[in-house]
Chains A and B, each alone.
Chain A
Amino acid sequence: MLQNEIRTQKLVIGIFSILLTVVLIIIAGVEAKRTTETKPVIEVSGINKRCVSCHTERGIAVKAIDQWKESQHAIKNIGCIDCHKAEQGDFDAFYCPDSDILVGKHPTPKDCAECHKQQVEEFAQSKHAHQFWVIKNDDRSIFEPTIATRNGCEQCHNISIVWPDQSVGECDACHPKHTFSRAVARQPETCGECHIGPDHPHIEIYLESKHGNIFRAKEKQMDLSYSSKDLKKIPIEVPTCTTCHMDGNETQPSTHNVSARLAWESQAAWSYRTVWLQDKLGDWKVKRGRMESICKSCHSPDFVEVYFLTADLVNLQYNEIRRSFVYWVKKLQKNGLIKELEANGKKYSDIVLNGWDEEPEYLMYHAWHHEGRRFRHGAIMMGADYTQWHGIWELQNDLVELIRWAAERGDPEAKKWVNSTHPSKFMPYAIYDIPGNAWGINALSNKVQFLYVNYKDYWDRVYQNVKYAYEKGLLSEEQWQLWLKRYNNKEHYLGTKYNVDSVYAYYQQLNAIDTKAMNEQVVNMQLPGKPFYEPGFGFMVEDNKAKSKDMVRRKEELNNNRQGTTTGGSVK
């Protein structure tokens, strides 16, 4: 009896011990395995399960499902029908052909707003949502066939699409479906899908800036998928486009209103201070303040303020250059040298905007829409090459072209300009300037400029212009004070009060050696073998004429023979 009892005991203890050990270690193992999984488990249920299994089975938009599985939506159990839901009568409602599910073909911002209300509202109040291109594109529609518009203008400007349900915008222009990834939206190339090319090369400007350069070098170490809500520190080392224009930092909330931090309408034909939704967003100074708060996450306040003041003066300078273009085109028009397009009493090449059939209009269009923007945007976003070679250089070039065109057609003022040999002729407009730049004091570079050297009242004239701009509200009080601080101590900021002659002399010596080498190697050299062209070339001597005729004849014969072989000799 007792032995039995002991045996039972041993058996029970043995069985349960082994069972517990095996089962619990397996469970602990399964749990340990789960800790190494970084991908969340996606649970598909209800109608979504039907959508996913049927689509997967039939191979329709399977990739979209995979993308969705990568999304935060999937993790949070927001499935197909949550965005694609529809009611009878909706503009995009249709019955899925293989089920009885009513589906919305186009989830619009109205659908997104069910969860992302604030973002959708902010977007709708931004210039991204403003279809000014439609309002103003009647001119373009005569220059380009509309079919080109479908894949051209409309593709980018669809971001401001106005849907039949009255919602505005295209969220997936930046947050691509179906991952709706934050990281993709922050990737500079996402903005660069549209902000690229000759008219607003923003991605190119960004990539040539220090920001873009560091980004490219370190992008693999940066995780762009962070949330920028709740006034958190910017977690990446350098900004991408969204960091400055949309994301938040310690002081600025993030916003989907890309216009909330812009102080210039610098894409427009004239640079003017923004008044966009001023009652809600504040005036340009408030908007600039927002942008500066972001910049000051990384940069010193002085650098930021001087940098922006300089870029603002570039915007103002552009207006003066533009004024010259407008002056000449208007004058040429008034004198009947160029004509506007007209139909049914309506003019089709707006003097300020466009016009393509005559050289001066074309030049003026480019001076605004291409190089004029590059000049200004390069200055605002640290794209030196775009301010310089793709900007001011081409602006100046086109202005010279325009005046020369007028001179060739007999305009006396233009002729006078062409005949002038004075270097100041290239600056037929008023000038803005600032002593020095934001990066440091260059004790050498401001000593030789023609205007600085030859016009003693240069800074007085500039002073008057800057003051005038300030008085007209185009510069803020703080900016004016900052400018004055530099103006009053301009010898310091221009570096002219520092003697660096010895350094200058040293580099001049090096330069002289270079020049000498160039002269010796190339300039003062003449090859002994004569060139083949000689003045008067084109008149053939008789002997050569005969030779030439003979060559032509033989060539023709050869051609005929070749044709004969390929067509089976049926050609006569």
Chain B
Amino acid sequence: MNQMQEKKFSERLPIDFKKIAEVILNEPIPGHMKNWFYALGATPLVLFIFQVVTGILLTFYYVPSPDLAYQSVKYITEEVRLGFWIRGLHRWGSNLMVIAIFLHMVRVFFTRAYRKPRELNWILGILMLITTLGLCFTGYSLIYNQLSYWATTVGTNMIKEIPIFGSLFLRFLRGGETVGVNTLTRFFDLHIGLLPTTLFVLIILHIVLVRVHGVSRLEGYEDDEIYRFYPEHMYHVAVIALFLLTVMSALTVVLPPGVGEPADPSTTPLHIKPEWYFYWIYFLLKYLPIKLGIALILVALIVATFWPFIEDILKKKFPKVKWHYIVGSVAIVLLLIFTVYETIIY
């Protein structure tokens, strides 16, 4: 663009793109971020973009009706050119996204990056985790095979246990007594409409907040080195994206997602399980009295959401105790134990 054209253009669209680009690209990044484990925040974002792209491609063929859902998934997997790959990327992408969020949380938690003044961004993060799990849950239900149908059934059954609004919310989600045609269309709506939009908005807010606050420094430690977002960190992210694409493709080839048996609402299979990221909830509900299980899950959720404030209170009372190490380690170990246990006793 020469100057004349630039002028014409900016007259018509009076936005200073250069400045915006400068702000975005010149963000100073602290030197410790060169360690890969400290740079995992971008991973879920990269995966989200992958999910959007592969998700749009899947909707070209997917039909959200009980008669055709399973058939169309089968068609995508077995007939459509590279359909299995796109579906594999989408499925593995969703799994890796959950894992990536966990990893990002581990970094944030143990570096106490949520501490003042970034509490709000932690809460946004928790909301994004919940939204992502919602996307995983609704997405899995769309396959409409025996495993996913019954996983949806038990998954939504859990909702019923929420005090007061449980039954109402359950009916609202299912659109009837059991999982059926209404559930499928509702979940499809949620999966491709409401939830991705919510997540997108949350991601924007999250990044804006990160930028407004600046990337957090390690507690009490000033990095010697500061570097620019572009090009160093941007390339960092690009490498992560390519790495993920390779990993997901490899996983798709080695462990492709199957189609299983078509959903049969009249035949309850011997094993009914939700997806693995809900195993910890499933474990608690299965082995504890239902009310206690629900209470624990709700407490865990509240503690996780408001942890930055809760930790402040705890710190005032017991200033020497490193709460984040204790709580973080216990939470991770329990999560792993419950999840592994449920996987093994399948």
Per-position 1/0 for B24-40, Cβ under 8 A of A:
00000000000101101
By a CB distance below 8 angstroms, the chain A residues around B261 are 38, 40
- Give Cα A10 to B111, complex, Å: 9
Minimal beta-carbon separation of A197 from chain B (angstroms): 38
For the complex, is A334 an interface residue (Cβ under 8 Å from B)? Answer: no
- Give Cα A23 to B341, complex, Å: 12
Per-position 1/0 for B316-346, Cβ under 8 A of A:
0000000001001100100010011001001
For the complex, is A21 an interface residue (Cβ under 8 Å from B)? Answer: yes
For the complex, is B258 an interface residue (Cβ under 8 Å from A)? Answer: yes
What would be 29 A-B contacts, judged by CB atoms less than 8 Å apart?
A9-B110, A12-B325, A12-B328, A13-B37, A13-B38, A16-B110, A16-B329, A17-B106, A20-B99, A20-B102, A20-B332, A20-B336, A23-B336, A23-B339, A23-B340, A24-B99, A27-B276, A28-B92, A28-B99, A28-B276, A29-B255, A30-B343, A32-B251, A32-B257, A35-B147, A37-B258, A41-B270, A75-B269, A75-B270
Interface pair A9/B218, CB less than 8 Å apart: yes
Per-position 1/0 for B143-174, Cβ under 8 A of A:
00101000000000000000000000000000
For the complex, is A43 an interface residue (Cβ under 8 Å from B)? Answer: yes
Interface pair A20/B255, CB less than 8 Å apart: no
By a CB distance below 8 angstroms, the chain B residues around A31 are 275-276, 343
Query: Given contacts A13-B37, A28-B276, is CB(A19)–CB(B336) below 8 Å?
Result: yes
Per-position 1/0 for B208-236, Cβ under 8 A of A:
00000000001111000000000000000
Q: Determine the interface band of chain B, counting residues with CB < 8 A from chain A.
A: 35 or more
Query: Given contacts A6-B218, A12-B325, A227-B266, is CB(A17)–CB(B37) below 8 Å?
Result: yes
Minimal beta-carbon separation of B157 from chain A (angstroms): 20
For the complex, is B12 an interface residue (Cβ under 8 Å from A)? Answer: no
With both beta carbons as reference points, the residue of chain B lying nearest to A36 in the complex is identified as B258
- Give Cα A29 to B96, complex, Å: 11
Minimal beta-carbon separation of B331 from chain A (angstroms): 10
Query: Given contacts A16-B106, A31-B275, A75-B269, is CB(A38)–CB(B325) below 8 Å?
Result: no
Interface pair B91/A32, CB less than 8 Å apart: yes
- Give Cα A28 to B279, complex, Å: 12
Interchain CB contact (< 8 A) of A14 among B37, B256, B329: B37
- Give Cα A159 to B301, complex, Å: 62
For the complex, is A346 an interface residue (Cβ under 8 Å from B)? Answer: no
With both beta carbons as reference points, the residue of chain B lying nearest to A227 in the complex is identified as B266
Could you tell me which B residues sit within 8 Å of A by CB distance? 35, 37-38, 40, 91-92, 95-96, 98-99, 102-103, 106-107, 110-111, 145, 147, 218-221, 251, 254-261, 266-271, 275-276, 325, 328-329, 332, 336, 339-340, 343, 346
Interchain CB contact (< 8 A) of A10 among B35, B145, B259, B275: B35
- Give Cα A66 to B146, complex, Å: 23
Minimal beta-carbon separation of B282 from chain A (angstroms): 13
Interface pair A42/B276, CB less than 8 Å apart: no
With both beta carbons as reference points, the residue of chain A lying nearest to B40 in the complex is identified as A17
Interface pair A16/B343, CB less than 8 Å apart: no
By a CB distance below 8 angstroms, the chain B residues around A19 are 332, 336
- Give Cα A427 to B269, complex, Å: 64
- Give Cα A14 to B110, complex, Å: 10
Interface pair B106/A2, CB less than 8 Å apart: no
By a CB distance below 8 angstroms, the chain B residues around A472 are none
With both beta carbons as reference points, the residue of chain A lying nearest to B38 in the complex is identified as A13
For the complex, is A77 an interface residue (Cβ under 8 Å from B)? Answer: yes
For the complex, is A136 an interface residue (Cβ under 8 Å from B)? Answer: no
17 more contacts with CB within 8 A, not counting A16-B328, A24-B339, A41-B271, are: A5-B220, A13-B111, A14-B37, A17-B107, A21-B99, A27-B276, A29-B254, A32-B257, A35-B257, A35-B260, A36-B256, A40-B270, A43-B270, A72-B267, A76-B270, A77-B270, A227-B266
Minimal beta-carbon separation of B9 from chain A (angstroms): 46
For the complex, is A33 an interface residue (Cβ under 8 Å from B)? Answer: yes
Interface pair A24/B220, CB less than 8 Å apart: no
Minimal beta-carbon separation of A81 from chain B (angstroms): 18
With both beta carbons as reference points, the residue of chain B lying nearest to A30 in the complex is identified as B343
By a CB distance below 8 angstroms, the chain A residues around B258 are 32, 34-38
By a CB distance below 8 angstroms, the chain A residues around B328 are 12, 16
Interchain CB contact (< 8 A) of B221 among A6, A16, A36, A42: A6
The 5 tightest CB contacts between A and B, nearest first, are A36-B258, A35-B258, A28-B95, A32-B255, A24-B99
Interchain CB contact (< 8 A) of B340 among A14, A21, A27, A33: A27
- Give Cα A72 to B261, complex, Å: 14
- Give Cα A6 to B110, complex, Å: 10
Interface pair A21/B260, CB less than 8 Å apart: no
- Give Cα A13 to B36, complex, Å: 11
Could you tell me which A residues sit within 8 Å of B by CB distance? 2, 5-6, 9-10, 12-14, 16-17, 19-21, 23-25, 27-38, 40-43, 72, 75-77, 227
By a CB distance below 8 angstroms, the chain B residues around A43 are 270
- Give Cα A2 to B276, complex, Å: 38
Minimal beta-carbon separation of B326 from chain A (angstroms): 11
- Give Cα A35 to B268, complex, Å: 16
- Give Cα A27 to B103, complex, Å: 16
- Give Cα A400 to B187, complex, Å: 76
- Give Cα A43 to B272, complex, Å: 13
- Give Cα A36 to B74, complex, Å: 12
With both beta carbons as reference points, the residue of chain A lying nearest to B219 in the complex is identified as A5
- Give Cα A191 to B220, complex, Å: 84
By a CB distance below 8 angstroms, the chain A residues around B332 are 16, 19-20
By a CB distance below 8 angstroms, the chain A residues around B276 are 24, 27-28, 31
By a CB distance below 8 angstroms, the chain B residues around A37 are 258, 260
Interface pair A12/B91, CB less than 8 Å apart: no
With both beta carbons as reference points, the residue of chain B lying nearest to A8 in the complex is identified as B325
With both beta carbons as reference points, the residue of chain A lying nearest to B335 in the complex is identified as A20
With both beta carbons as reference points, the residue of chain A lying nearest to B252 in the complex is identified as A32
- Give Cα A20 to B37, complex, Å: 12
Minimal beta-carbon separation of A221 from chain B (angstroms): 15
- Residue among A5, A14, A16 with max Cβ neighbours from chain B (10 Å): A16
Query: Given contacts A12-B325, A32-B91, A42-B270, is CB(A20)–CB(B260) below 8 Å?
Result: no
By a CB distance below 8 angstroms, the chain A residues around B92 are 28, 32
By a CB distance below 8 angstroms, the chain A residues around B329 are 12, 16
By a CB distance below 8 angstroms, the chain B residues around A41 are 270-271, 346
Minimal beta-carbon separation of A417 from chain B (angstroms): 65
Minimal beta-carbon separation of B144 from chain A (angstroms): 13
Interface pair B257/A29, CB less than 8 Å apart: no
- Give Cα A32 to B96, complex, Å: 13
Interface pair B339/A34, CB less than 8 Å apart: no
By a CB distance below 8 angstroms, the chain B residues around A5 are 219-220
By a CB distance below 8 angstroms, the chain A residues around B218 are 6, 9
By a CB distance below 8 angstroms, the chain B residues around A17 are 37, 40, 103, 106-107
- Give Cα A159 to B38, complex, Å: 74
- Give Cα A118 to B187, complex, Å: 38
By a CB distance below 8 angstroms, the chain A residues around B343 are 27, 30-31
- Give Cα A77 to B272, complex, Å: 14
- Give Cα A14 to B106, complex, Å: 9
By a CB distance below 8 angstroms, the chain A residues around B147 are 34-35
By a CB distance below 8 angstroms, the chain B residues around A24 are 95, 98-99, 102, 276, 339
Minimal beta-carbon separation of A312 from chain B (angstroms): 39
- Give Cα A10 to B145, complex, Å: 43
Interface pair B270/A9, CB less than 8 Å apart: no
By a CB distance below 8 angstroms, the chain B residues around A77 are 270
